[in-house]
Structure 1
Amino acid sequence: MLQIVPETPAVHAAAIETLFDATFGPGHFAKTAERLREFSRSLPEISRVAVLDGEVIGVCRVWPLTVGEGRTRALFYGPVAVAPSHQGSRLGLSITGEALEAGEKAGWPAAILIGAPAYFGEIGFIVTPKHQLSFPGPQDQARVMVRNLAGDASQLAGRVTAA
């Protein structure tokens, strides 16, 4: 039976790293998004893991961020990964959706995600205007998206940094 649960690092961490390697390959550490994650800690209580018969088959990790000179709080959603054997099932949207609900319930104002607009647009993410958000490295602005949680994501503007 498939379950989507909060991440328990002691139980899930090794399997999640194996899933990231299988999904993205070793090059995923070179991405700009990793610059945000390397100086932060994920939020296991908001992150979600898909477990099928005891095996981790999907994950949406969530990280605290600040944006702009006012250091507005936001959550960074990703990486979102689904085991190759379960891709195409829309599981990534289900996992991310549950993580979004957790972020909203915890009172976080907004979510940021770097991904495919056609896919993540289905759960309320919208592409930001070009250069509204800047990252610690090159980023395809057409893939930078935000979504309201307990606040207004349209207010996010400026440099995105680890919390």
Structure 2
Amino acid sequence: MNDLSLTILAETANDAQAIERLHERTFGPGRFVLSAYRIREHVDHLLDLSFTARIGTLLVGSVRQLPICIGDTKALLLGPLTVEPPFRSRGVGRALLDRALQDAKARGHRLVLLVGDEPYYSRVGFKAVPKGRATMPGPVDYSRLLVAELADGAFTDVSGAIRPDWSFAR
């Protein structure tokens, strides 16, 4: 972590405004048309599987996970992963990813999906979803659709539409 004294904590309801401001600064208004946001419109993220990164009291990063299904298979959708620009390339994103995946696995989750850059996310076990195995609503660059198996072979026979897990719908 270089010279940073970083603390990773489970997100609380009190973090919502600060995280939204972080998303506004880092992603801008165009974020609402992305496929992953189409899914997030219907299901809230899971606070116990979403995390903040702080240096002292300063929020410097956030990662969220929400319940989805791929066909009939339950999974998590990771994202957004956000780090304040001055703190990028200092291990903050990696620390958030490690904690999110570790806690998801500890709670019995078997699959995590995201839309992102494979060179970055492959370092923590994500790989491209084979073409045609899963579809998302709205525009999506399927070369950026990635999956991490938290249990060996968890994605072997999984296919279908990615959708919110309606048992968690608002």
Taking structure 1 as the reference length, the TM-score comes to 0.94
Find the counterpart in structure 1 of residue 127 from structure 2: 126
Percent identical residues: 33
Letter in 1 for 2:121: F
Q: Is the 8 A contact 1:112 1:146 kept in 2?
A: yes
Within 5 Å, which residues of 2 pair with 1:17-56?
Answer: 17-56=20-59
How many Å apart are 1:137 and its aligned residue? 1.1
Taking structure 2 as the reference length, the TM-score comes to 0.90
Find the counterpart in structure 1 of residue 62 from structure 2: 59
How many Å apart are 1:118 and its aligned residue? 0.1
Q: Alignment partner of 1:42: what SS?
A: coil
Find the counterpart in structure 1 of residue 156 from structure 2: 154
Q: Is the 8 A contact 1:105 1:150 kept in 2?
A: no
Q: Alignment partner of 2:147: what SS?
A: strand
Unaligned 5+ runs, structure 2: 166-170
Give runs of ≥4 in structure 1 deviating > 3 Å: none
Cα offsets for 1:7-31 (capped at 9, x unmatched): 1122x11110011011111111111
Letter in 2 for 1:117: E
Q: Alignment partner of 1:39: what SS?
A: coil
Is the aligned partner of 1:5 residue 2:24?
Answer: no
Find the counterpart in structure 2 of residue 78 from structure 1: 79
CA RMSD of aligned residues (A): 1.1
Q: Alignment partner of 2:74: what SS?
A: strand
Q: Alignment partner of 2:143: what SS?
A: helix
Within 5 Å, which residues of 2 pair with 1:100-119?
Answer: 100-119=101-120
CA distance in 2 between partners of 1:156 and 1:88 (Å): 34
Q: In structure 2, do the counterparts of structure 1 residues 53 and 130 end up closer, same or farther at CA, with 3 Å as the change threshold?
A: same
Q: In structure 2, do the counterparts of structure 1 residues 51 and 155 end up closer, same or farther at CA, with 3 Å as the change threshold?
A: farther
Unaligned 5+ runs, structure 1: none
Letter in 1 for 2:54: V
Q: Which moved more, 1:81-90 or 1:38-47?
A: 81-90
Q: Is the 8 A contact 1:61 1:77 kept in 2?
A: yes
